[in-house]
Amino acid sequence: MVELPSWQVNGIAIDPLVVFAVIAGLAVAVLLALVLLVWRNGRIRASEAAQRQAEARLMELELAALKGQLHGISELAGANQSELSRALHERLDRVSQTVGVNLDETARRTAEHLARLNERLAVIDTAQRNITELSTQVVSLQDILANKQQRGAFGQLRMETIIQDALPKDSYRFQPTLSNGKRPDCLIQLPGSDAGLVVDAKFPLEAFEALRAAADEAARKEAARRVRTDVGRHIDEIAAKYAVPGETQDSMLMFVPSESIYADLHEHFPDLLQKAHRVRLFIVSPNMLMLAVQTMQAIMKDVRMREQAGIIQLEVGLLLTDVNRLKERVLEFQKHFGLLGGDMEKILTSTDKIASRGRRIEGLEFEQRPPDGVAQNGDERPRL
């Protein structure tokens, strides 16, 4: 037997046979492991194939069950669909009917609303026309107030309107001529006096317009000074021109055609009011003039009633005289009636006798005459 040399590794002697035996053992072990691995893989593949077959079978069963369920579901869905269709048709019919009724009601209400809207639009149109006319009148009023002559005519017109509405026509005159040649705007004749009450309507408004348009204190003071100058001069002119003894009253009226200007005079210019009072000139606004005119109207009515009271008393006296005369004539007639009473009784007695005789004659019965007109027994008169 041949001996193999031994191997030295790190000083250790290794037998080659042992190495070969170990290698052979390892090879066998690897081969066995490969065989086991192949067998195991085969088993796994077979198991997987069987599992796949079982899964496929299960899937086929599930598919069959699913087909059955789908068929049932389809039949149920068909029935439900028909029921749903019927319910939908009924619901749609009800909805259509309700919608139709609602549409009719909506149309009726819409027509009513449109009619009301047309009425309101007509009212709005009328109001708009009125506003347009009013704006035109306001513009014309501004033009009038901007012009001095037109403004004076405007004040004159307001004063004339107030007086004409309250007083009788024979109690006032517009623009009369006085004995001194002056012409006041109005002269009111008061009862019990030949002197008339003068009313002046030419009030200066330019200074008040400047006072309202003043932008600063200096302009306001200048406008206030101008107001005192213009109004004071106008007060002196009225007192000088229209104070005619025996023809005009001692008291006179100065008409202011604006309530706001009248309030400004009382609030900011009391000195002008005192100056006017000293010359017995009273400044009046439209409301105050209306109050004064109504007071004059009451005085005139009272005076006229007193004047008519004498006429009424005279007429009542004449009426009493006529009543007394009528009483005397009635007494005379009563006497004549007493005298005629006996004659009337005699006439009534004769009338009764005549009536009784007539009734007796009416109750008589006459025999019938023969045809030849000759009475029976040779008597031509009828026999009673």
Region 92-100 average pLDDT: 77
Instruction: Please report whether residue 345 resides in a domain.
Output: no
Total count of residues recorded for the chain: 384
Domain that holds residue 116: 90-131
Amino acid code (one letter) for 240 = A
Instruction: Please report whether residue 102 resides in a domain.
Output: yes
pLDDT of 354 strictly over 80:
no
Specify whether 152 is located in the same domain as 126.
no
Spatial distance between the Cα atoms of 2 and 10, rounded to a whole number of angstroms: 25
Q: What confidence tier does 18 reach under pLDDT thresholds 50, 70, 90?
A: low
Specify whether 251 is located in the same domain as 213.
yes
Specify whether 118 is located in the same domain as 165.
no
Q: Within a 13 Å sphere around the CA of 137, how many CA atoms are in the beta-carbon half?
A: 6
Region 282-304 average pLDDT: 85
Q: Are strands 172-174 and 186-189 parallel, antiparallel or unpaired?
A: antiparallel
- pLDDT by residue (tens digit) across 223-280? 888 888 988 899 999 888 988 888 888 889 988 888 888 888 888 888 888 998 998 9
Indicate the SS3 state at residue 191: coil
Q: Number of structural domains, the chain?
A: 2
The alpha carbon torsion through 235, 240, 241, 246 (nearest 10 deg) reads 120
Specify whether 275 is located in the same domain as 155.
yes
Spatial distance between the Cα atoms of 18 and 1, rounded to a whole number of angstroms: 16
Residues with Cβ within 8 Å of 340's Cβ and at least 6 positions away in sequence, in order, are none
Instruction: Please report whether residue 256 resides in a domain.
Output: yes
Please say which residue of 309, 329, 349 terminates a domain: 309
Instruction: Please report whether residue 54 resides in a domain.
Output: no
Instruction: Please report whether residue 288 resides in a domain.
Output: yes
Residues with Cβ within 8 Å of 252's Cβ and at least 6 positions away in sequence, in order, are 197, 198, 199, 200, 238, 239, 242, 243, 280, 281, 282
Q: Which residue has the tokens 């007494």?
A: 331
pLDDT at 244 (0 to 100)? 87
Specify whether 197 is located in the same domain as 270.
yes
Distances (CA, A) of 88 to 24, 80, 98, 127, 318: 88, 12, 15, 55, 105
Q: What confidence tier does 6 reach under pLDDT thresholds 50, 70, 90?
A: low
Q: What is the mean pLDDT of the chain?
A: 76
Specify whether 285 is located in the same domain as 170.
yes
pLDDT at 139 (0 to 100)? 43
pLDDT at 11 (0 to 100)? 60
Please say which residue of 309, 344, 360 terminates a domain: 309
Specify whether 121 is located in the same domain as 160.
no
Specify whether 112 is located in the same domain as 153.
no
Please say which residue of 282, 309, 336 terminates a domain: 309
Amino acid code (one letter) for 31 = L
Instruction: Please report whether residue 37 resides in a domain.
Output: no
Specify whether 160 is located in the same domain as 102.
no
Q: What is the DSSP code string of 225-286?
A: HHHHHHHHHHHHHHHHHH--TTTEEEEEEEE-S-HHHHHHHHHH-HHHHHHHHHTTEEEE-H
Q: What confidence tier does 105 reach under pLDDT thresholds 50, 70, 90?
A: confident
Specify whether 174 is located in the same domain as 235.
yes
Spatial distance between the Cα atoms of 136 and 148, rounded to a whole number of angstroms: 20
Specify whether 195 is located in the same domain as 97.
no
Instruction: Please report whether residue 44 resides in a domain.
Output: no
Instruction: Please report whether residue 157 resides in a domain.
Output: yes
Specify whether 276 is located in the same domain as 151.
yes
pLDDT at 376 (0 to 100)? 45
Spatial distance between the Cα atoms of 206 and 138, rounded to a whole number of angstroms: 19
Query: Would you state the structure tokens that stand for residue 152, as one six-digit string?
Result: 């004076």
Query: Would you state the structure tokens that stand for residue 173, as one six-digit string?
Result: 């005159």
pLDDT of 48 strictly over 60:
yes
| Tally of CB atoms within 10 A around 234 | 18
Distances (CA, A) of 357 to 160, 343, 366, 367: 89, 21, 17, 20
Spatial distance between the Cα atoms of 203 and 231, rounded to a whole number of angstroms: 8
